[in-house]
């Protein structure tokens, strides 16, 4: 079972770096390491499923597509109950290559159910990261206050100053 942190790692594997979009998962060894650390084998089939599933989940979370684009990744996967101690464990049955990709989709669905509306893209349009808002008021908008939040505040401040300066040279200009 993948945690919310693992889901965010996957969704946030395409950050902006110096204004250029990067894909941290384009690098085969890096993605294999990531998959092996999470119980996979890091093989090429697994990488292929992971990349495609991540791209689809990003589109769904950004609202660019409905969840039906996830159908192909889930085909034939099932959860089977097994007695374990006093209760049941639900075992995911799917071919090995596809397991981490399906676990990502299951993690996305769990976050969607447990924290409805809280998984969202960062409000900074220059940023490609995602966040899960745990604030009580559901008002978090930035992936990070330190980076995106402050950057936007600084930009607004700058624009306000420019606007005020323009206002001084053009008296009577409506605000």
For residues 57-96, which are near Zn ion according to CB under 5 A?
none
Map tokens 């808002």 to a residue. 133
Question: Can you state the angle between helices 99-114 and 4-11, rounded to 10 degrees?
Answer: 110
Check binding of 152 to Zn ion (CB under 5 A): no
Stretch that binds Zn ion, among 29-37, 67-75, 103-111, 117-125 (CB under 5 A): 117-125
> Which of 10, 70, 148, 152 is close enough to bind Zn ion by CB under 5 A?
148
Q: Does 127 bind Zn ion (CB under 5 A)?
A: yes
Residue that the structure tokens 């089939």 belong to: 45
Give 105 or 140: the residue with its C-beta nearer to Zn ion.
140
Among 70, 105, 129, 152, binds Zn ion (CB under 5 A): 129
Residues that bind Zn ion (CB under 5 A): 122, 124, 127, 129, 143, 148
């Amino acid at each position: 079972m993948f945690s919310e942190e693992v889901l965010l790692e996957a969704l946030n594997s395409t950050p902006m770096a110096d204004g250029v979009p990067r894909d941290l998962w384009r690098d085969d060894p890096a993605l294999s390491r990531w998959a092996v650390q999470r119980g996979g084998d890091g093989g090429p089939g697994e990488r292929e499923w992971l990349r495609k599933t991540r791209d689809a989940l990003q589109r769904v979370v950004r609202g660019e597509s409905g969840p039906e684009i996830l159908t192909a990744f889930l085909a034939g996967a099932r959860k089977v109950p097994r007695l374990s101690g006093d209760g049941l464990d639900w075992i995911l049955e799917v071919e090995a290559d596809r397991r981490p990709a399906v676990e990502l989709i299951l993690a996305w669905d769990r976050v969607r159910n447990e924290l409805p509306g809280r998984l969202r893209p960062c409000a900074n349009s220059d940023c490609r990261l995602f966040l899960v808002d745990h604030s009580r008021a559901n008002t978090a908008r930035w992936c990070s206050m330190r980076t995106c939040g402050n950057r936007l505040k600084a930009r607004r401040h700058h624009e306000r100053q420019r606007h005020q300066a323009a206002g001084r040279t053009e008296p009577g200009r409506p605000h």
